[in-house]
Chain A
Amino acid sequence: MNVVAKKPRTIPESSLIGTRIPKMDAPEKASGRTRYIHDINLSGQLYGKILRSARVHARIVAIDTSAAKALPGVHVVLTAADVPDQRPIGVARDHFPLKGDRVRSQRDEIAAVAAESEEIAAAALKLIKVVYEDLPVIADPEDAIKPGAPLLHPAPAGAQPAGATVAHRGKADNIAMRFDYAHGDVVQGEAESDVVIEDTFKLHYVTHCCMGVSGMIAEFDASGSLLMYSNTQVPFLHKREFAEYLNMDPARVRIIQPPIGGGFGSKLDIYPFEVICLFLARAARRPVKLVFSREEEFLASPTRQPVLLTLRSGCKKDGTLTFRQVHTLHDNGAYTSWGATTPFVMMQTFSSLYRVPHCDYHTVAVYTNNPYAGSFRGYGNLQATFAIEQQMDEMAAAIGMDPLAFRLKNAQHTGEVTGQGMEFKSCGFTDCLNTAAQRSDFSRKFADNAAERNQPGHLKRGIGMASMLHVGGGAKIYPSDGCGTILKMDDFANVTLITGASEIGQGSETVLSQLVCEELGLPISALTVVNNDTAITPWDVGVHASRTTFIAGNSAIGAAKKAKTKILAVAAQKFGCTAEELDLRGGCVIKAADGEVVTELSKLIRNLHFSDKAELVMTTFYYEPPSVHQGKDYKGDVSAAYAWATQVVEVEVDTDTGIVRMLKVTGAHDVGRVLNRLGIEGQVEGGIVMGQGYALTENLMIENGVMKNPNFRDYKLITAPEIPEMDVSFIESMDGEGPQGAKGIGEAPAICIAAATANAIANATGVRLYDLPFTPERVYRALHGQTPKLYWKPWVPAA
């Protein structure tokens, strides 16, 4: 018998990084199995509904709930009087979940009902009688800021003067927040300028329009512990906050997040409905499910921050930027949520997108009777970029320079430390500018369109560009910006990754699995991700600031590296070599030098487990990025990495109707490195469409505090036929701190579109628009000289 020597099996090197990996949860979603909060039902649950104000600004004289309470099927009816222990909520702790003495906006919550069906709850609301005494409506932030304006938050009757919060002690003016930042000396900057330009820009209300409306299910168990199903984006911080509002131990609060419904920043704050749902469940001693109607979603969700902004900038004849001075008036709405804090991001763009030696930035956020603004993908950056990038074109024109050349001259480079203290350890800005310009043939088209502007015909072509800078390595806002991971391997070498990162649709499960597989040489199918449950997962600060891939990715890699070290040490001992001589690949332990298989990983793991020194492979890791908190002067390197992008928008403007068609978007994004190509393409394309809606069609119309279009008929989202052709390039600047070199880019793709569109319309028609959105009528009016130039004279009251 011939014995043929068995050829050793080798596994060639390969990498998952940069490949196209379908989202792990795609089959579930495509087949409709993934559960929205609507689809979750607990046995014995009641249905909660909220009575909102019928007035925009009024004193509540009396509330009569007796008829509602008497309706069969109604279990609980609550007003502020029934919850004497309610605590003020919100970023500035300036309102109570249930309003007792005063309503300040159309959405205000006056009473709530828990009943056996939604129909009964709705009928009960109709039986509640409220007597109002109207107060003057302050709908314009410019009025609210005037000396002697009626106060939105006067000291309440019987106010505790020593009360810690606005809700308790009131506020002597309508200023909710203010931000003042400076580097350099703008007076000197202006003196050195050859050209100075000043414009006022007006940014409108839009809202997130998540596919799933807001909702919550709350249940207290027999021992008083609370379980919540909630779409929150910050479960661990909110767990603590909810506990505070209920005066209970945070350890007894558990939050489970459905993986679908949508966030985009809208679930970054705690809203009255959530606390009210808890009150109802506590009073009813039954689970309570409270889900918004679509109309309610429009009325009672946060909006993107509307802004009135006057920007003054200068440059020298050779194109060098000299200074920027910014004043903004933020319409805070009736209460303070994250919208008021968008200056944190806005000032970064003004101070650091380009090299600008002198910068001065001021924001006043004022209370009005309008809806209140929250956080929304881009967090103020769409507004700031809209202003800056239009002025970049205006200044380039004023000195006769090509807009691309002007930007290149002032663009940031790797190694730069900005006036605000941001340190650009990897910066592909110049590559973004050049790539987007070349791929779209920008400079030729820009010149041709301008030359053809006055030809006959009602269709004009335009091209415009805009760039952005945004945090790409988390943002150190809270005491920690970290994320924890627990990794365990079973005896078939499958990995369960228990991550603090929440999956709310962004594809984090897939990219985290990919990073772990890359370390451990496993196929994606070997990974199971466990997330979205505060009772199980380690701490994480939340889904925001484009941080999940970067922070949770580094955390997952950290846990995987520890597992690998352990595995290789065991293998080295077993096979009599050093750990350095071994590696993991294709589900096997291999020789690092030539890929020869030493043993199957699953076999090794079982040997380890079922031995006399039984052991499992389980590791933990907590990643904290090396960023710093900003000082009181807003200076400091707040993110571990920064993302860059340039987007070029091409439009066709119909001068007979004002219709602007977006034909093509050419984007170049510095993403550090592409991890899951399919995922990042989806993220960028979705962001472009969101930016397109902001630029062209979406507009929440508020008149005297009343929302005019709380429905999808008159609030116009972009639909499929309007989506432009897209050409997206990725610039791989290989960030030293990023997971496999990657940066976060969740918010980036939405940021430039409106600014680039404004520049494209100006290129097509010679008319520049300073206020959004570019609806046909607004564009038509501007083209026909019906739009007086906006001007807001900054008036900053003494601090």
Chain B
Amino acid sequence: MTELERYVAPTTLAAAIDCLKDGEVTILAGGTDLTPQTRAGRMRIKRTLMNIRRIPELKGIALDGGAIRIGALTTITEIMDSALIAKHLPVLVETCRHFASDQIRNAGTLGGNLCNASPAGDTAIPLLVLGASVELASKPEDKIYRRSIPLSEFFVGPGQTRRSLCELLTAVTVPLPAPGHVARFHKFGTRVGLDISTVSIGIGGTLKDGALAAARVAFGAVAATPLRAAQTEAALEGQRLDAAAIARIAAVARDEVHPIDDVRATAWYRKELIHNMTKRMLENVAQA
């Protein structure tokens, strides 16, 4: 049983963050993480349950100067169906195709996926590769205060982020990739549909003369948070992607991750997958 006392469904951002001040508030977006977690007793619903789905400001995908702004309430399906995203951030569409099932994609939101902060959360990986930031809003006095932090600094541990209890994640912003930018996402699960990642890999950069510049690599499900892989990035940066280089970079990747054993896989196997899949993805990039 919960101590739930109050259910609110504000229609403005201001009202929502006002309510958050209390500190004893559970935010509900699509509910696809919240429901199973509270049912299983892994999470407790606080005194107030706040449904944020009626706040128009949290919705929508738009080109905003040199960046694409994706509202926190945007569902995985909406990302998949967006022409704007398909044009500028195709890797995000690719990722969403491997995300859960239709039912979950129709309900699950981008904000929820990031705030849930699962090490195996899927959207974080391409967003890390794309250099995304998250926008957080709060209302310490009577004015709305917004801050932006790079996604690479957002995650702290499983289920933990740098969002404070009185902040709402309002949007994700992704700078428009440079011309010639390529990005790949690979999710490894034991079956095609409806699986939680055993490992996931994102690789991106600007392809010139068979090498990636401004290379970024991100791994999921191999650490307490989705993470950028600095050593792998350094090994990849500017290297012509011939067979020898690919083998070297894949080996760096394998050594860089320190996964754990769990019901889905052993650490050894995860490291093997990181190696083999990084290699396969780089071979694919080399042929692009």
Contacts and interface: CB of A to CB of B under 8 A. Distances in A.
Interface of A: 119, 122-123, 295, 458, 656-657, 659, 697, 701, 708-709, 711, 713-714, 716, 718-722, 775-777, 780-781, 784
Contacts of A711: 40
Given A656-B277, A719-B194, A721-B193, A714 B269 contact: no
A697 B188 contact: no
Interface in B266-288: 266, 269, 272-273, 276-277, 280
A240 to B, nearest CB: 39
Given A656-B277, A656-B280, A657-B276, A697 B191 contact: yes
Interface size class, chain B: 20 to 34
A714 B196 CA distance: 9
A537 B264 CA distance: 48
Contact of A780 (B40, B269, B280): B269
Contact of B188 (A119, A122, A657, A775): A657
B192 interface: yes
A517 to B, nearest CB: 41
Given A777-B265, A777-B266, A718 B191 contact: yes
A697 to B, nearest CB: 6
B280 A719 contact: no
Given A697-B191, A720-B193, A775-B190, A708 B276 contact: no
A656 B199 CA distance: 14
Contacts of B263: 701, 708-709, 714
Majority SS of interface residues in chain B?
Answer: loop
B178 interface: no
B272 A780 contact: yes
B244 interface: no
Contacts of B193: 719-722
Given A657-B276, A719-B191, A721-B191, 15 more contacts: A123-B1, A657-B273, A657-B277, A659-B190, A697-B191, A701-B263, A708-B263, A711-B40, A718-B191, A719-B193, A720-B193, A721-B192, A722-B192, A722-B193, A777-B269
Majority SS of interface residues in chain A?
Answer: loop
Contacts of A722: 191-193
B274 to A, nearest CB: 11
Contacts of A721: 191-193
B192 A719 contact: yes
B276 A656 contact: yes
B275 to A, nearest CB: 9
A776 B188 CA distance: 10
20 contacts: A122-B1, A123-B1, A656-B280, A657-B188, A657-B273, A657-B277, A701-B263, A708-B263, A709-B263, A714-B264, A716-B191, A719-B192, A719-B194, A721-B191, A721-B192, A722-B191, A722-B192, A776-B190, A777-B269, A780-B269
Contact of A781 (B194, B269, B273, B277): B269
A651 to B, nearest CB: 14
Contacts of A119: 1
A292 B266 CA distance: 32
Nearest first, the 7 closest Cβ-Cβ pairs linking A and B are: A656-B276, A721-B192, A777-B269, A719-B193, A714-B263, A708-B263, A721-B193
Contacts of A718: 191
Contacts of B276: 656-657
Nearest to A777: B269
A289 to B, nearest CB: 20
A721 B277 CA distance: 22
Contacts of A709: 263
A582 to B, nearest CB: 58
A155 to B, nearest CB: 38
B102 to A, nearest CB: 11
A263 B272 CA distance: 40
A286 B277 CA distance: 60
Contacts of A775: 190
Interface in B241-280: 263-266, 269, 272-273, 276-277, 280
A474 B1 CA distance: 49
A718 B277 CA distance: 24
Nearest to A293: B39
Interface in B185-240: 188, 190-196
Given A701-B263, A708-B263, A777-B266, A716 B190 contact: yes
A716 B276 CA distance: 24
A657 B193 CA distance: 17
Interface in B17-44: 40
Nearest to B264: A714
